[in-house]
Amino acid sequence: MLRPVILSGGSGSRLWPVSREHYPKQFLKLHSEHYSLLQETARRLESIDGCTAPLVVCNNEHRFLVAEQLHTAGLTPAGILLEPVGRNTAPALALACLTALEQDPEASLLVMPADHVIEDSNAFAQAVAQGRSLVEQGQLVTFGITPTSAHTGYGYIRCGDALGQGFRVDSFVEKPDAERAQRYLDSGDYLWNSGIFLVGASHYLDELAAHAPDILQHCRAAFDRRKEDMDFLRIDEALFAECRSESIDYAVMEHTQAAAVVPMNPGWSDIGSWDAIHELKQRSADEHGNATQGDVLLFESSGNLVRSESRLVAGLGVNDLVIVETDDAVLVASREHAQQTKQIVNALKADKRAEHQSHQRVYRPWGHYRSLAGAAGFQVKEIVVNPGGRLSLQMHYHRAEHWVVVAGTARVSLGEGEDAKSFLLGEDQSTYIPLGTVHRLENPGRIPLRLIEVQSGDYLGEDDIVRFDDIYGRAAGSTDHDG
């Protein structure tokens, strides 16, 4: 059986302000109106014969997002493997191989990033079938995209001698300048590097042992001390943190004598920048090449990508721009600079601003909250708790809270021991949580619970929380995040 591995560790910083560290692009509906990129990636496997449920590799912060999105799409993963720290794709694949080999010593892994678009699933399935025959011949397979332009935003693969329905890899080439990219396109010998792989699990580990033994050593040590936590498999943080960061290409594929590439043309994009999204949406663009989403009005304008999430965006006499509006930030950039958005993210990090990290709407395993207003001494939030959702049993040192239910039913627990009490609140009912009071909020109903929370106090940071009990396995006594 073929075991898919979905790598979901990216941050998508070049798609700021829509993609943020706590909610990056793989969780966004950037291509389909109905599914996120992660959900599309998992659903794509339905077209591949002899394929098991996918193993997803993600970081600890995103674990509940991954689980919830797969559940919402009606998909059950084979497992969710948590990287305690990001160390790029070579260690991530090593952990996936070690996991798969425990169940199947002959396992082959189809390795896919969670944030790519593939429009023709049948063409992708055909390429995978071709790759499987090469894996059976002892090859480590990567998939190359037949280039359609002299693109400078992708790495390239130079094809060597023909090998079955693919080619031996002659060399990997970094992102070229425009002149070299045109030469590559004209020669017909180069493919875009998709970052998708098909490998025998034991073969990959053997090659990693030969070319990057330190990575394998650290991964084995961290994996041997793994722990199961609900539906998640946790890797030992201290041991894995010692592993160096490296990609599959650099660690193995550029050094092995068994690298093969299968060409494919399935309508692929890595959605690596806003300009890439503009290209992807040209089929739905207007007669002037403007691709829009949301509440947008354009006049005497051409070649723009305009996305609005919370208000009207109007343009007059503008050309070849990227304009992206969210509820707390607006990006305006020329399309030729669209790949440089990371500069803005780095500046936000340096200034210790929150806009690189979170949206106004922040997701939690029980639902989400959204900041509505705030100033010195108070803050107003909208809190939405999913049916059956339950916040941790907690208390705050610096703030009191008022809750007003606007939809659904809330069960509120207050106090400890003999003084503890629990009661229900319906629409238009409210309660007050004094500073220092142990409390919990949950939704016992069948529809989402929606309430307005007014916080008051001398400090309103999200780290003012002491957690005593939590059904989602977040550490008791921790002060990491709200809820």
pLDDT one-digit tens code per residue, 423-478 = 999 999 999 999 999 999 999 999 999 999 999 999 988 889 999 988 887 765 44
Residue carrying structure tokens 């939704």:
443
Q: Tell me, what's the pLDDT at 483? A: 67
In this structure, the number of other CB atoms found within 10 A of the CB of residue 138 comes to 10
pLDDT tens digit sequence for 193-243:
999 999 999 999 999 999 999 999 999 999 999 999 888 999 999 999 999
- ∠ CA 169-171-173, rounded to 5°: 130
pTM of the model: 0.89
Give the integer Cα–Cα distance in Å for 306 and 278.
Answer: 9
- Evaluate if residue 479 carries a pLDDT over 80: no
Structure tokens at 333: 């950039």
The percent of residues above 90 in pLDDT, for the chain, comes to: 87
Residue 83 CB burial class (10 angstroms; 0-12, 13-18, ≥19): buried
Q: Which residues pair with 430 in a beta bridge?
A: 404
**Centroid of chain to Cα 276:** 18
pLDDT of the residue at 477: 45
How confident is the model over 326-335, as pLDDT tens digits?
A: 999 999 999 9
Q: What is the pLDDT of residues 9-46, one digit of tens each?
A: 887 899 999 999 999 999 999 998 899 999 999 999 99
Q: Are 261 and 167 in contact (CB under 8 A)?
A: yes
Rounded CA-CA distance 194/179 in Å is 21
Q: What residue ranges define each of the domains in the chain, with the CATH number in brackets?
A: 2-269 (3.90.550.10), 275-340 (no CATH), 361-469 (2.60.120.10)
Band the pLDDT of 1: cuts 50, 70, 90: confident
> What percentage of the chain carries pLDDT values higher than 70?
98
Q: Residue 335 phi/psi, 5° resolution?
A: -60, -30
Tokens of 234: 């946790």
CB count in 10 Å sphere of residue 257:
10
CA 89/CA 109 separation, integer angstroms: 14
Q: Of the segments 10-19, 56-65, 254-263, 336-345, which one has the largest average pLDDT value?
A: 254-263
d(CA 425, CA 451): 10
Q: Which residue has the tokens 């599914």?
A: 35
CA–CA dist 422, 320 (Å, integer):
58
DSSP string spanning 113-174? ETT-EES-HHHHHHHHHHHHHHHHTT-EEEEEEPPSS--SSS-EEEEEEEETTEEEEEEEEP
Largest distance between two CA atoms of the chain: 80
Are residues 247 and 254 in contact, defined by beta-carbon separation less than 8 angstroms? no
pLDDT of residue 480: 42
CA distance 47 to 281: 24
pLDDT attached to residue 478 = 43
pLDDT of residue 416: 85
Burial class (CB in 10 A: 0-12, 13-18, 19+), 299: exposed
pLDDT in tens, 394-427: 999 999 999 999 999 999 999 988 888 999 999 9
Residue 70 and residue 76 in contact, taking contact as beta carbons nearer than 8 Å? yes
**Cβ–Cβ contacts within 10 Å for residue 387, how many?**
14
Q: pLDDT tens-digit profile of 118-130? A: 999 999 999 999 9
Give dist(CA 222, CA 409) in Å, integer: 44
Provide the 10 A C-beta neighbour count for residue 441: 26
Token pair for 184: 């590559």
Question: Is 18 in a helix, a strand, or coil?
Answer: coil
Can you tell me the distance from the alpha carbon of 9 to that of 153, in angstroms, rounded to the nearest whole number? Answer: 20
What is the C-alpha separation between 258 and 168, in angstroms, rounded?
Answer: 8
3-class DSSP state for residue 264? strand
Cβ atoms 441, 410 nearer than 8 A: yes
